[in-house]
């Protein structure tokens, strides 16, 4: 059976069961969200895990209008994997959160890096235009381990994405 734990930033006790396999509402904000992690069954093997969120939404902190992004998260795990349902709920918690593109992208990357302590993590935030200009934000923890296949994130430069 996989060990379970929650992030340090959670407001819920660490002993709570995983959100997987039971009803779990979308958290009201990223601060209220809980990310779960599970033990990596292939510790000692370098491999890449990719999550793609093509319908990420948040709010402009100035106008309150919705902003949309295509997020791609890649990481090389060590001891922990992020549990995907908790990640989906965490990302959905940004829907009513007001923050700039740069803040959202880097916050997600840093939160996952702190939770998982991976060998390497990168996030690409490919934001749809605001004021006629797309803003793409990239963050990573350092150099990827040698020998790990790092595919292109697969999001074309903006030319009317869709």
| For the chain, domain boundaries | 4-21+30-140
Distance, C-alpha 10 to centroid of its chain: 15
pLDDT at 79: 98
Distance, C-alpha 131 to centroid of its chain: 25
- Residue 130 DSSP symbol: B
pLDDT at 158: 76
4-21+30-140 maps to CATH 3.40.50.720 = no
- Residue whose entry in the numeric block shows the structure tokens 């402009």: 60
- Residue whose entry in the numeric block shows the structure tokens 């930033």: 9
Contact between 39 and 61 under an 8 Å Cβ cutoff? The reply is: no
Contact between 74 and 116 under an 8 Å Cβ cutoff? The reply is: no
The torsion angle over the Cα atoms of residues 72, 124, 36 and 58, rounded to 10 degrees, is -100
Res. 85 pLDDT band, cuts 50 70 90: very high
pLDDT digits (tens, 9 = 90+) for 114-140: 999 999 999 999 999 888 888 999 999
> 160 in helix, strand or coil?
coil
Res. 162 pLDDT band, cuts 50 70 90: low
Which of 53, 56, 72, 69 has the alpha carbon at shortest distance from 154? 72
Catalytic residues: 60, 67
Global pTM value: 0.87
Distance, C-alpha 65 to centroid of its chain: 22
Helix (H) or strand (E) holding 8: none
Structure tokens at 138: 């990239």
pLDDT digits (tens, 9 = 90+) for 86-108: 999 999 999 999 999 999 999 99
């Amino acid at each position: 059976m996989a060990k379970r734990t929650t992030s340090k930033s959670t407001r819920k006790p660490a002993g709570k069961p995983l959100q997987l396999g039971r009803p779990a509402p979308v958290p009201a904000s990223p601060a209220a969200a809980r990310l779960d992690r599970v033990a990596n069954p292939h510790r000692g093997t370098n491999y890449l895990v990719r999550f793609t969120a093509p319908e990420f939404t948040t709010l402009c902190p100035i106008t309150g209008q919705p902003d949309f992004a295509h997020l791609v998260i890649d990481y090389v795990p060590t001891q922990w994997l992020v549990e995907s349902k908790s990640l989906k709920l965490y990302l959905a918690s940004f829907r009513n959160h007001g923050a700039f593109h740069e803040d959202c992208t880097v916050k997600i990357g840093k939160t996952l890096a702190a939770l998982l302590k991976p060998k390497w993590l990168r996030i690409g935030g490919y934001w749809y235009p605001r004021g006629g200009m797309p803003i793409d934000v990239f963050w990573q923890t350092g150099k990827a381990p040698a020998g790990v296949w790092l595919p292109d994130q697969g999001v074309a430069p903006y030319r009317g994405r869709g």
